[in-house]
Chains A and B, each alone.
Chain A
Amino acid sequence: MKKKQLLLFLRTLNARAYVRIFGQMREATWVVASVLGGFFTMTTYVYLYRTLGTGSEFSGLVVLGGFMTPFFLNVLWGVATQLYWEKEMGNLELMLVSPAPLSAFLVGLSVGGAMHTMLRSLAVLFFGIAVFKVRFAVLHLPLALLVFLVTLFSMYGLGIVFSSLFLYHGRDAWRTADLVMEPTNVLSGTYFPARFLGVGLLGIAALIPTTLGLDALRQLLVPSFTVKVLDWRWELLILAGLGLVFALIASWALRSVEYKARRDARLTLRWQ
Chain B
Amino acid sequence: MHGWAGKILDVNLTTRAIQTRALDETSARLFLGGRGLGARLLWDEVGAGIDPLSPENVLIFTTGPLTATGYQTSNRFSVSTKSPLTGTILDANSGGYWGMQFKRAGYDALIVRGRAETPVYLEIKPSGITFHDAQTLWGKRVRATTHALGQNNHKRNVLCIGPAGENCSRIAAIMNDGERALARGGAGAVMGSKNLKAIVVEGNTRPEIVNQELFKFMLYETRKLLRASPLTSQALPEFGTSVVMNIVNTIGALPTRNFQQSQFEAGRAEAIAGETLTEKYLVKNAACWACPIGCTRISKTARGEGEGPEYETLWAFGAQCGIDDLPAIIEANSICNDLGLDTISAGSTIGCAMELTERGLLDSDLRFGRADLLAPTLEAMGARRGIGAELADGSARLAKQFGAPELSMSVKGLEMPAYDPRGMQGQGLLYATSNRGACHMRGNMLGLEVLGLPKLIDRFQVQGKSSFVILHQNSAAAIDSLVICKFTNMGVAEEYFARVLTAVTGIPYATGELIRVGERVWNLERLYNLREGFTRADDTLPPRLLNDAVTEGPSQGWVAKLEPMLQEYYRVRGWDAQGVPKPRKLKELGLDSCVVQ
Q: Do chains A and B interact in one complex? A: no
